[in-house]
């Protein structure tokens, strides 16, 4: 049976088992069929044992996965962090058993057969959806649809940027690989994939080779219930190279990948028509195959129809095992050959090699913090976004691996690296792909696509060589919240910059004025949110963000100018790194003001005003409550004092502060939507002036 | 000068002022030019006076707005809630002065010239972005990009659904209007617009006539920096009818609208090439014209170049005033004529007319609450999603104006109205538009497009005749958060159903397990979040949602089965409507358990377990803390008792509970990410069993 026939017969019973001896099937085809069916039944058995999961998609995608992983994907299970490996992204994360099976079959040592049998069980490496960090070879956490699609774009962009920096005249090219991804209907329906596709097409990321598993089925039934796009036309409209194939025709899959590899100036989308639940006599091509186990009877019937032994489950025929190991050994040899070439390249290119190491190690100078604090210094009133802009210029000079951009707001977010150069489509002829040189730049232009920006940043950060930031207004953090959460869940140190952080942005009004966003972001576990009050705090927020290895940083900055915080002598870096600390000159008193960002100078002014009336007040700055939470209770008490005698001031929802103060304390927040008006009037009306706060404090005391 | 020339000369100085007497311009053209320039200069002067705003876009869009509002838009400034008015959505909300100017010129009585002069000032009707409710004729709050685009789709869908219900054989058709919208680059870059466009194209919403203001400029510079899609091809790929015109050629605009009106089976996109800041000698066609005032010098130069008097500002030439008033009078007459026809239709169609009134008044039976409570009743353990499903079937029977759907999860969210019929593309030939009959259904299929679902629901709800719900998993509330917030900001009673509400959804794992989402949603002002514990609470959540007129409802439901809450005698509806209340049989004790949703039965079991040890505990259910917040302090104290002796249990972030309890109370929450595993094991590991909680309580006591 040749590939063409295999495709034609898709969905009908094909007996190609170990013991079968159909003469028309060549040895290679027979072995392949055996391999593909092994992948299918590992998924079927895994889901069946877990009594939970998605069998149909792995069954449908098995041909694709087999071809990608055995004929194309350059990886080495014994060197899983090899920089020049191809990345594989299973954007359709619900098909996780497919990925786990591939990792097991290709020899990733931590993905044992026992792990496959522990699918979806407590403490296993084989979670319901692939979780980054749970096992080697899982490049990214996927499951929330559309995210993987956009993460892959970030990886492809990072690869292009590394290639632009390091693939010089030398015959050896240190960065020379692809990003493979498999996406589902759901991925393509989510808006984030449209955003990311637009970015990828715009930048001509020819290193992306994406498959769309076009199986016509979603949870509610056939996709045509809600999905009737011309996908080919859609992707062409944003600059992709598109092919349409039969997703069960392995010859066609091979041809399509080869063609896609040759298209270097456009990302590739391969629309692969598949049958969900391929091989299941009853459920193939139906929604029933999507999200629940086939059930004992149908498993039996499916195994019978494909000539597969009913027992043992998780069966891996010996020839299959041998075939995968043979391929893996070959891959290992190829990787080692690359390492040799790379090591020779390093000795020929000493300076570049040193830079290379800086990129991958994220090495910063020993005096990193103090350099940034110096850069963030200002005697005059400046917005923290402007102070951050000063720090970014210093980062540009001393940390080459820091890159970033904004969602079409760079002039407003002050995030442009002035000397960094822009990554933008070359202004050549229509359809012409950007030259590699374009990717030498450090300033990214995400367009008005916050969600894709978040996921692209995650992909770039996961790639490994960059610390990447993305900026927008704080209100629009809502547009990208799923990606922010995933960074935190993955413990990936993406950097999210949010300016225009309160009602004091003024005239743009309630649609643009964050109220609940500070606390909503602080609720996301495993993330550091900084809301600095001056240049020193802004600089240390940046230092923490760049140094982080175990989670994302959110930086919240003002639009409006803030008076400098009085500091005599050198900045007390350690104090700020505690997340909250008492300000010098305000360490004694009967009440304690605690404030963040723009409200700190308000607290100081109120304390001074009350001081003239004989009320002595302490003032604490709390640039990072997430860090403060990690301090000892003694330290926390030393900052807060009597928790009933605290005045907390923050221009946002008040409720989060109850965690830090006792009932009876005074919390001055904003529990309504804002208003369109010059900021001064808003401050007056909402009671955010020293006089109004002093009056409230007097009444409260 | 004919229209063609006007277009050709776009961007160069054209003197067409009141006093000019260029012989080649016909009287009509001259008057039109005067009208359009009036619109331009109202925007220029408004932004200049406010020293803040976006002058360039209104200047570029003025021709479009003029043609739409004077030649096509059926509306009546004296009857702003006329059901059959055309809706106008300014998705590019930053061009708000354009809308305010049109409202003023066409005679909306509350949009006075003084209001235009108060642009972006405290307490004015003329906020930085259009705010629904601030002035008549503002159909929807816009500004966060892409939202208006999707809101319009919701309006168009609602109109089709009303037409399917009421446009019968009678010659008079009660629903027979269009949705006009103007969108910007930013709207189209946001993923939500791709999602919404896909829905609109899929459903063939021919009543949508959208303009894309293709001005090549975004904040960071030329759009080609980040945007190189073939927009025509993109919209065609999802089933839209697309035209490309010169956006300053009013003749072409007219022709395009007429053509679009004739395309009844596809939504229409008119790509209108415009020049941002049209008329400004220095800034036209530049990013500089986008987001800040032109400045005194350039205002002067622009007025000179268009032959406009420098003073007074906010100048409206008498012929312009008269022309608009003439058109408005005509519109009023047409509306009155419609009313007459409608009143005759009502008398000919008595039964339909009664239904019509039910739709627009949202009238429910007097015993609405008790009917729903009866429907939600169950003696056996059921998930609250299933109980909600029971209530929905009752709603289907007694509240015809309730409609809804899910983001491809109906079988999981239990939101299908079994007898409701589906709104789905007719299964006819490719390209064939759905028959009107299709829209008779009540079940919507949003596809895996949560964000568009949120905004489409808002649009449907704003339309006025429906109470519409949309469902997905709680984790994916993050995907649609900007739309949820806008519903709350607009005080629009959209209904958001979120199931699979905790780690107890089990095997799908951390990517699907909400942790921070309950509190993140509760932070949004002006929204009611219900997390019911049984059928009675679920029913009353639905009753509140359907009755709400002043804000959205979020309903949070379990995947897993819950034991029924012991209630003897009739359900105490009033108690539940307090948002939190003591359970009968658990009103006395030294400590108070308070819990929501699935943790209530856990609290009861723990109390019973401790009771056997002689510890007497009160148990409070808190299905809606937002309602509880509105109760008197006395009532709140009566429920919580000694706030130091409270045990709060909720399977999510703990921090929000500090608002309700004193430090020293015991808060049992989840402050880490979840895990992929069967739910029972998760409960065991995270300490959510009666035994584990009892142990914690003993230690704490």
Structure confidence at residue B433 (pLDDT): 64
Helix, coil or strand: residue B453: helix
Instruction: Decide if pLDDT at B26 tops 70.
Output: no
Helix, coil or strand: residue A545: helix
Structure confidence at residue B432 (pLDDT): 56
Instruction: Decide if pLDDT at A508 tops 50.
Output: yes
Instruction: Decide if pLDDT at B295 tops 70.
Output: yes
Residues of B in contact with A142 (CB under 8 A): 511
Residues of A in contact with B483 (CB under 8 A): none
Instruction: Decide if pLDDT at B428 tops 90.
Output: no
CA distance B367 to chain A (A): 34
Catalytic: which of A450, A537, A599, A650?
A450
Instruction: Mark yes or no for CB contact B525/A516 under 8 Å.
Output: yes
Instruction: Mark yes or no for CB contact A482/B478 under 8 Å.
Output: yes
Structure confidence at residue B20 (pLDDT): 40
Residue B443 vs residues A424, B100, B320, B411: alpha-carbon distances, Å: 44, 37, 47, 12
Distance, C-alpha A205 to centroid of its chain: 18
Q: What mean pLDDT is reported for chain A?
A: 94
Instruction: Decide if pLDDT at B22 tops 70.
Output: no
CA distance A434 to chain B (A): 12
Residue A512 and residue A500 in contact, taking contact as beta carbons nearer than 8 Å: yes
pLDDT tens, A448-468?
999 999 999 999 999 999 999
Instruction: Mark yes or no for CB contact A190/B448 under 8 Å.
Output: yes
Cis peptide before B328 (omega within 30 of 0): no
The mean pLDDT of A595-620, rounded to a whole number, is 97
Question: Which residue in B520, B653, B671 has the most chain A C-beta atoms within 10 A of its own C-beta, making it the best mutation to test that interface?
Answer: B520
Instruction: Decide if pLDDT at B286 tops 60.
Output: yes
A193 pLDDT band (50/70/90 cuts)? very high
| Closest in B126, B189, B447 to A189, CB measured | B447
Structure confidence at residue A65 (pLDDT): 97
pLDDT tens, B549-568?
999 999 999 999 999 999 98
Instruction: Decide if pLDDT at A218 tops 90.
Output: no
pLDDT tens, B115-147?
999 999 999 999 999 999 999 999 999 999 999
Among the residue ranges A83-97, A423-437, B214-228, B532-546, the one predicted with the least confidence is: A423-437
Residues of A in contact with B651 (CB under 8 A): none
Write the burial class of residue A296 (CB in 10 Å: 0-12 exposed, 13-18 middle, 19+ buried): exposed
Residue A442 and residue A396 in contact, taking contact as beta carbons nearer than 8 Å: yes
Structure confidence at residue A46 (pLDDT): 97
Among the residue ranges A506-510, A628-632, B13-17, the one predicted with the least confidence is: B13-17
Closest residue in A to B521 (Cα) is A520
Question: Which residue in A289, A478, A519, A671 has the most chain B C-beta atoms within 10 A of its own C-beta, making it the best mutation to test that interface?
Answer: A478
Distance, C-alpha B313 to centroid of its chain: 36
Structure confidence at residue B219 (pLDDT): 77
Residue A553 has a CB neighbour count (10 Å cut-off) of 25
CA distance A614 to chain B (A): 30
Structure confidence at residue A220 (pLDDT): 78
Structure confidence at residue A2 (pLDDT): 35
Instruction: Decide if pLDDT at A369 tops 70.
Output: yes
Residues of B in contact with A681 (CB under 8 A): 121-122
Instruction: Decide if pLDDT at A15 tops 80.
Output: no
Residues of A in contact with B201 (CB under 8 A): 228-229
pLDDT tens, B654-671?
999 999 999 999 999 999
pLDDT tens, B322-368?
999 999 999 999 999 999 999 999 999 999 999 999 999 999 999 99
Residues of B in contact with A408 (CB under 8 A): 186, 189, 218-220, 226
pLDDT tens, B159-182?
999 999 999 999 999 999 999 999
| Closest in A425, A452, A678 to B224, CB measured | A425
Structure confidence at residue A216 (pLDDT): 87
Structure confidence at residue B435 (pLDDT): 82
Closest residue in B to A95 (Cα) is B508
Residues of B in contact with A448 (CB under 8 A): 145, 185-186, 189-190, 218
What are the structural domains, with CATH classification, of chain B? 3-331 (3.40.50.970), 368-556 (3.40.50.970), 578-700 (3.40.50.920)
Instruction: Determine the Cα angle at B112 with ends B111 and B116, to 5°.
Output: 85
Residues of B in contact with A199 (CB under 8 A): 226
CA atoms of A324 and A42, how far apart (whole Å): 15
Instruction: Mark yes or no for CB contact A489/B481 under 8 Å.
Output: no
| Closest in A228, A450, A478 to B202, CB measured | A228
Instruction: Mark yes or no for CB contact A128/B656 under 8 Å.
Output: no
Residue A500 and residue A555 in contact, taking contact as beta carbons nearer than 8 Å: no
Which of the pair, A38 or B29, is modelled with greater confidence? A38
Instruction: Mark yes or no for CB contact B449/A191 under 8 Å.
Output: yes
The mean pLDDT of A494-517, rounded to a whole number, is 98
Which of the pair, B251 or B24, is modelled with greater confidence? B251
A245 sits in which H/E element: strand A241-246
Residues of A in contact with B123 (CB under 8 A): 675, 677
Structure confidence at residue B437 (pLDDT): 87
Residue B104 vs residues A460, B90, B293: alpha-carbon distances, Å: 49, 15, 21
Question: Which residue in B523, B529, B559 has the most chain A C-beta atoms within 10 A of its own C-beta, making it the best mutation to test that interface?
Answer: B523
Structure confidence at residue B9 (pLDDT): 33
Instruction: Decide if pLDDT at B429 tops 90.
Output: no
A79 pLDDT band (50/70/90 cuts)? very high
Instruction: Decide if pLDDT at B426 tops 80.
Output: no
Q: What residues of B are annotated to the active site?
A: 450
Instruction: Mark yes or no for CB contact A226/B482 under 8 Å.
Output: no
Structure confidence at residue A18 (pLDDT): 37
The mean pLDDT of B59-74, rounded to a whole number, is 96
Instruction: Decide if pLDDT at A9 tops 70.
Output: no
Q: What sign results for the dihedral spanned by CA atoms B370, B376, B378, B384?
A: negative
Distance, C-alpha A326 to centroid of its chain: 34
Q: What percent of chain A has pLDDT over 70?
A: 95
Residues of B in contact with A524 (CB under 8 A): 516
Structure confidence at residue A433 (pLDDT): 63
Structure confidence at residue B24 (pLDDT): 44
CA distance A367 to chain B (A): 34
B222 pLDDT band (50/70/90 cuts)? confident
Instruction: Mark yes or no for CB contact A662/B663 under 8 Å.
Output: yes
Which of the pair, B9 or A598, is modelled with greater confidence? A598
Instruction: Mark yes or no for CB contact A227/B656 under 8 Å.
Output: no
A26 pLDDT band (50/70/90 cuts)? low
Question: Which residue in B193, B428, B448, B456 has the most chain A C-beta atoms within 10 A of its own C-beta, making it the best mutation to test that interface?
Answer: B448
A426 pLDDT band (50/70/90 cuts)? low
A304 closest CA partner among A29, A37, A31:
A37
- Is A699 assigned a catalytic role? no
CA distance B334 to chain A (A): 35
| Closest in B189, B412, B520 to A195, CB measured | B189
Distance, C-alpha A306 to centroid of its chain: 39
Which of the pair, A255 or A287, is modelled with greater confidence? A255
| Closest in A189, A224, A506 to B449, CB measured | A189
Residues of B in contact with A672 (CB under 8 A): 525
Closest residue in A to B526 (Cα) is A672
Structure confidence at residue B21 (pLDDT): 39
Instruction: Mark yes or no for CB contact A509/B672 under 8 Å.
Output: no
Q: Is the pTM of this model over 0.90?
A: yes
Residue B513 and residue B673 in contact, taking contact as beta carbons nearer than 8 Å: yes
B491 closest CA partner among A672, A506, A518, A653:
A672
**Tokens standing for residue B270:** 């008119």
B546 closest CA partner among B683, B372, B687, B672:
B372
Q: What mean pLDDT is reported for chain B?
A: 94
CA atoms of A673 and B48, how far apart (whole Å): 26
Instruction: Mark yes or no for CB contact A676/B515 under 8 Å.
Output: no
DSSP state for residue B558 in the 8-state scheme: -
Residues whose CB falls within 8 Å of the CB of residue B130, separated by 6 or more in sequence, listed in order = B90, B93, B96, B99, B100, B138, B140, B141, B142, B143
Instruction: Decide if pLDDT at A5 tops 60.
Output: no
ipTM value: 0.95
| Closest in A219, A230, A671 to B237, CB measured | A230
Strand order in the sheet with B179-183: B87-90, B179-183, B208-214, B268-273, B241-246
CA distance A73 to chain B (A): 26
CA distance A98 to chain B (A): 15
| Closest in A218, A233, A520 to B236, CB measured | A233
CA atoms of A582 and A594, how far apart (whole Å): 9
């Amino acid at each position: 049976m040749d590939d063409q026939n295999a495709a034609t017969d898709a969905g009908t019973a094909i007996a190609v088992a170990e013991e079968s001896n159909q003469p028309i099937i060549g040895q290679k085809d027979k072995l392949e069929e055996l391999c593909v069916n092994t992948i299918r039944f590992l998924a079927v058995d895994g889901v069946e044992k877990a009594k939970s999961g998605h069998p149909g998609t792995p069954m449908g995608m098995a041909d694709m996965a087999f071809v990608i992983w055995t004929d194309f994907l350059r990886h080495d299970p014994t060197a899983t962090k090899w920089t020049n490996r191809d990345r594989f992204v299973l954007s359709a994360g619900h098909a996780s058993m497919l990925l786990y099976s591939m990792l097991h079959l290709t020899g990733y040592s931590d993905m044992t057969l026992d792990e496959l049998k522990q699918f979806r069980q407590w403490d296993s490496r084989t979670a319901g959806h692939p979780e980054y960090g749970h096992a080697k070879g899982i490049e990214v956490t996927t499951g929330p649809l559309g995210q993987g699609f956009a993460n892959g774009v970030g990886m492809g962009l990072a690869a292009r940027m590394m290639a632009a920096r390091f693939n010089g005249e030398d015959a050896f090219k240190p960065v020379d690989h692809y990003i493979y991804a498999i996406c589902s209907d759901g991925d393509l329906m989510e808006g984030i994939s449209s955003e990311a596709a637009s970015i990828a097409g715009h930048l001509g990321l020819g290193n992306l080779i994406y498959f769309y598993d076009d199986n016509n089925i979603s949870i509610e039934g056939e996709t045509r219930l809600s999905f009737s796009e011309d996908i080919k036309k859609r992707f062409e409209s944003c600059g992709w190279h598109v092919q349409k194939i039969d997703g069960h025709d392995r010859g066609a899959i091979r041809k399509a990948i080869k063609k896609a590899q040759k298209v270097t100036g456009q990302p590739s989308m391969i629309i692969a028509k598949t049958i969900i639940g391929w091989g299941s006599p009853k459920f193939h091509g139906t929604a029933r195959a999507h999200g629940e186990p086939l059930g004992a009877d149908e498993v039996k019937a499916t195994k019978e129809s494909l000539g597969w032994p009913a027992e043992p489950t998780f069966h891996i025929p010996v020839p299959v095992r041998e075939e995968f190991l043979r391929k893996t050994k070959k891959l290992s040899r190829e990787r080692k050959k690359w390492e040799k070439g790379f090591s020779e390249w390093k000795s020929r290119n000493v300076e570049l090699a040193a830079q290379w190491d800086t990129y991958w190690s994220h090495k910063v100078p020993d005096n990193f913090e103090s350099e940034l604090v110096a850069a963030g210094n200002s005697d005059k009133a400046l917005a923290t976004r402007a102070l951050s802009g000063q720090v970014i210029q210093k980062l540009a000079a001393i940390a080459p691996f820091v890159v970033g951009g904004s969602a079409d707001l760079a002039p407003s977010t002050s995030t442009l690296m002035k000397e960094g150069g822009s990554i933008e489509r070359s202004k050549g002829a229509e359809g012409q792909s950007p030259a590699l040189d374009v990717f030498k730049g450090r300033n990214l232009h995400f367009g008005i696509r916050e969600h894709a920006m978040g996921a692209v940043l995650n992909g770039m950060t996961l790639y490994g060589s960059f610390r990447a930031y993305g900026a927008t207004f704080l209100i629009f953090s809502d547009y990208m919240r799923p990606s922010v959460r995933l960074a935190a869940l993955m413990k990936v140190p993406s950097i999210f910059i949010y300016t225009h952080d309160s009602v004091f942005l003024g005239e743009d009004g309630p649609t643009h004025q964050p109220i609940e966003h500070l606390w909503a972001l602080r609720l996301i576990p495993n993330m550091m949110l900084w809301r600095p009050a001056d240049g020193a705090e802004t600089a240390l927020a940046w230092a923490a963000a760049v140094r982080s290895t175990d989670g994302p940083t959110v930086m919240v900055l003002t639009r409006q100018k803030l008076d400098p915080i009085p500091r005599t002598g050198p900045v007390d870096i350690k104090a700020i790194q505690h997340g909250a600390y008492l300000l010098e000159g305000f360490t004694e008193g009967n009440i304690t003001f605690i404030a963040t960002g723009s409200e700190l100078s308000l607290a100081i002014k109120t304390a001074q005003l009350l001081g003239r009336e004989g009320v002595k007040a302490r003032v604490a700055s709390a640039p990072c409550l997430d860090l403060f939470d990690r301090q000892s209770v003694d330290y926390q008490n030393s900052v807060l004092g009597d928790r009933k005698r605290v005045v907390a001031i923050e221009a946002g929802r008040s409720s989060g502060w109850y965690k830090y103060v006792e009932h009876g304390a005074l919390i001055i927040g904003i529990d309504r939507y804002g208003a369109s008006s010059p900021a001064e009037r808003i401050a007056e009306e909402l009671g955010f002036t020293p006089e109004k706060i002093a009056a409230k404090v007097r009444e409260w005391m």
